[in-house]
Structure 1
Amino acid sequence: MTDAATRFAAVEALKFSEVDRVALHTLGVQALPVAQALEAVLKVEFDKKHGAQCDTPRWRQFQAAYQVAFPAADLDHARAACKLLSEIIAFAENEAARAAGASILLMRGPAGIGKTHTTIDATKERVAAGRAAIAILGQEITAGHDPWSVVAKKLEISPTATKAEVIGVLATYAEKTGAPFVVIVDAVNETPDRKRWRSWLPQLTADLVGQPIKVLLTCRDIFVDDTLGATGAGLVSFTHTLKLLTASTTRPTPLRPSTRSARLPRWWPSPNSPTRSFCIWSVARRSAASGRGFPAVRSASPR
């Protein structure tokens, strides 16, 4: 539990979900008082039999050297249980666990801060690990289309395929790789009719129930409310900050929609391949492993 990379390996597992996070938290909260009460009883018994002055590592070492039995074993087991349960609660309340358990994650930030560039850099790690993700642009979801139809087109799935069939393809791939299939929609605020996201979000949430698929949305912060409205209130979201960026990823000016679209083929040589992808979960993983944590994640409505 003390190693950030190990924690992320766990929360990024195929079947880790918000239900799992809540279950872990409930387990810890309910079991910790029981373990603490047991520890208190055992402490009283230990002090009565051996004396409080013997509750030290040195006394334990002495007993271990000369006895087969360990008088402090029960007390130490109770303390270890309390520590483990406290770590479980802390883990379940951690922002990264909330993000990893979310089916839809929103990354917001000001123009030009490097949302697109940072996620592109992060995808190299994910692709190298044999995991799948696909990126589409908000501006590509034109009239008569929705996110799933654009994903299907990118993956060259038959245009007659139903939404359920498209989701099935992604889910099957996820099962084979042992990790979620991540669908990223970059710059949802650049969707021609961006307010359509208000009706798409509830349906996307329903579509992802029980599926090994995660969706990342990126949005310029000043357009979050106008794009998502009240439907974005339940999303786990975080603000992209300079703490996650290197000098090579920052830009003095934002990317224009036409520039973003023109550069995609250069960023991903095979436009219709899952390699043309990026994933903020990889950014979060690298950030936590470096000790910086996961910045400003919350489930409240974005301002």
Structure 2
Amino acid sequence: MNITPLVWAITIAVTIAFFVYEFFAHVRKPHEPTLGESARWSAFYIGLAVLFGVGVGFTSGWTYGGEYFAGYLTEKALSIDNLFVFLIVMTAFAVPKKFQQKVLMIGIVIALILRGGFIAVGAALIENFSWVFYLFGALLLVLAYRQAFVSADHDPSQGRFMRFVRRHLPITDEYHGDRLTVRIDGRRFVTPMLLTIIAIGFIDLVFAVDSIPAIYGLTEEAYIVFTANAFALMGLRQLFFLVGGLLERLVYLAQGLAVILAFIGVKLVLHAMHVNELPFINGGEPMLWAPEIPIWFSLLFIALTIAVATAASLFKTRKSAVSENVR
């Protein structure tokens, strides 16, 4: 893809404009979104993402279009997993429902900024060091194992990082509207609102480490990586309120994501072998016999894995509910 600085500037400006509009139109005044509002805006952003992908296919070719859709599906699935952790954090900190929009919005913006930084670093590494594909592939295989076998019941609000924050910041026990700090008896205190945002910011950093190597396993185009991430994050706030109860029913989402991350990890290692330059592996010569997984297969595999994980989750929770009712 030949993306000019002007196209980059317009894309970033439009992305920022969407989030600014979101804040002033929906988040600035604290309220709990209705189901209808959440459904309309979720459909709008998903439709916009699909239209953009079709545009990429028509203007740059369907290889790039397929890379975008594979990346968008992967990032959307990872973002929904991110939402589940957000839900755990906001429950742990007892964030009032009318303030949850603000927390989500700030969390999503932090996620976009962090991912933008990782995208730039990843693009520079890939351009200059082909061996980074080995590193990304190994990292994704480790992350896949963690995703599959580390307990999802872990409460991030009680982790070591948050315990450190609590020890070093004066914190109030109660919320003071949506204020982040408050002055009491002449002393400045941090509210639970700011503590929640700090926790979510730390979680965003962890998820960015998962997210960027995963999508670079599907495309080397930084523009596709950025736009797939941006569209995956757009509408995430509305999706949280739309599928709030459904999040807890996606019991196999972690396993589905583990399969996707492992698949992309293997894909990256195979690609690294194909472009190998490390002198201590095959004498520094590319291993052209290593198969390259085509993008159409990646897209089909990712979509099928998400569909199976979702269907299996809903079947299991429905069966469990029926069993409970029988008892």
TM-score by length of 2: 0.26
Structure with more helix by fraction: 2
Larger strand fraction of residues: 1
